[in-house]
Structure 1
Amino acid sequence: MAIHKLQIDDFITVDFELIAIHSALEDYRLAYFINSALGIMLERCENGIGIKVKDGETSFSRYDYEDADGCAWSLIQNKDKVISQHDGPASLFGEEEMKVVTNVHLLPEFKKVDYILKIENIPCNTEVDEIVESLLEIKHIATAYPVEHSKIKSKNNLIF
């Protein structure tokens, strides 16, 4: 009897592109400017992307749009803060509660990136560089660039 081996790498296909965006804008304003520049209709999802860390839970905001060709666009917040309360040491004035703020990142290997634009099922005739050029024309975006899949260690955070 023949033995058939399946390699896990046989099932892994990269069918999405990622664009890193550096901007100080709030997520809803950035989504508006991206909609205007790219001609898409990103809308806020009710459920964000939840991640548990040792200090608590956080939820990253997400804006989605799917066009007629089946191409799915997602604008995802990469930075958020978790506020946890710890009992501090007893002081002269009694015990105090301390609030500790921890920065959390969806993709920890890209800590300086503010937002990530994920494009799934992108048509073959669409160039990512053209999308990046359109994003760079938005004056509120400091920089934008494509992200190589080989540099991402926390790919599981992008499954939603």
Structure 2
Amino acid sequence: MANHRLVLDDDFSEEFTLIAIHCSEEAYKMAYLLNQNTGLKLYRREVDLDFSNNGLEVTFPLFEFEDEYQYTTYNLIANKCRSIAAHINSSGGLFDASGSESLVTTYLVPEYKNVDFFLKVYSDFETIPLRKILAAINQIKQVISSYNVDTEIIKSKNNLIFD
């Protein structure tokens, strides 16, 4: 009798370029600024990036632009999500329950806690105009800095898969 063995490769390697953006603006404002200064046409997707972290539902706003002529997809996503977690303390009595709330910050990519936004660029071509994009982003006066991130050293790379 033949033995069949299934092998699951853990190779979810999706080649993309990741740009870190330091900016204190809200996500919709950052998308607007990128549209104005880089020629992108980012729009908010109908479904945000949602997942559960330690029993807390976390939502990151997700903006997307598909350039059909260059076969390139741009995704802008916030790295930080602030949520309110409720804690209920009960002393065992019927009316003695007390509650408290705390503000919890969750990061999409915990290795880069100082980064406010990530611009993920996925292209079918080998090269993209990275210097041109970075120069245009750094020209925005609300942006403190932006730079290319080495995706090989990110441990939570699976958080950046949006499809």
1:64–1:74 Cα contact (<8 Å) kept: yes
**Residue type matched to 1:21 in 2?**
I
1:132 has 2:134 as partner: yes
Aligned to 1:21: 21
Using the alignment, how far apart are the partners of 1:57 and 1:104 within structure 2?
A: 10
Report the CA distance shift for 1:148/1:26 in structure 2 as closer, same or farther (over 3 A).
same
What RMSD over aligned residues (CA atoms) do the two structures have, in Å?
2.3
Aligned to 1:3: none
TM-score normalized by the length of structure 1: 0.85
Report the CA distance shift for 1:12/1:61 in structure 2 as closer, same or farther (over 3 A).
closer
**TM superposition outliers: structure 1 runs of 4+ over 3 Å:** 6-9, 11-14, 122-125
1:109 has 2:87 as partner: no
1:15–1:122 Cα contact (<8 Å) kept: no
The alpha carbon displacement at 1:7 in A equals 9.8
Aligned to 1:150: 152
Using the alignment, how far apart are the partners of 1:103 and 1:39 within structure 2?
A: 32
TM-score normalized by the length of structure 2: 0.84
1:51 has 2:51 as partner: yes
Q: Percent identity?
A: 32
Using the alignment, how far apart are the partners of 2:90 and 2:114 within structure 1?
A: 34
Q: Which moved more, 1:138-147 or 1:47-56?
A: 47-56
Which secondary structure does the structure 1 equivalent of 2:75 belong to?
A: strand
1:55–1:82 Cα contact (<8 Å) kept: no
**Mapping 1:24-103, distance limit 5 Å:** 24-68=24-68, 69-88=70-89, 94-103=96-105
**Residue type matched to 2:57 in 1?**
E
| Unpaired runs of at least 5, structure 2 | 1-6
Aligned to 2:4: none
- Paired residue total: 152
Which secondary structure does the structure 1 equivalent of 2:29 belong to?
A: helix
The CA deviation string for residues 105-133 of structure 1, in whole angstroms up to 9 with x for no partner, is: 11111111100000001644533122111
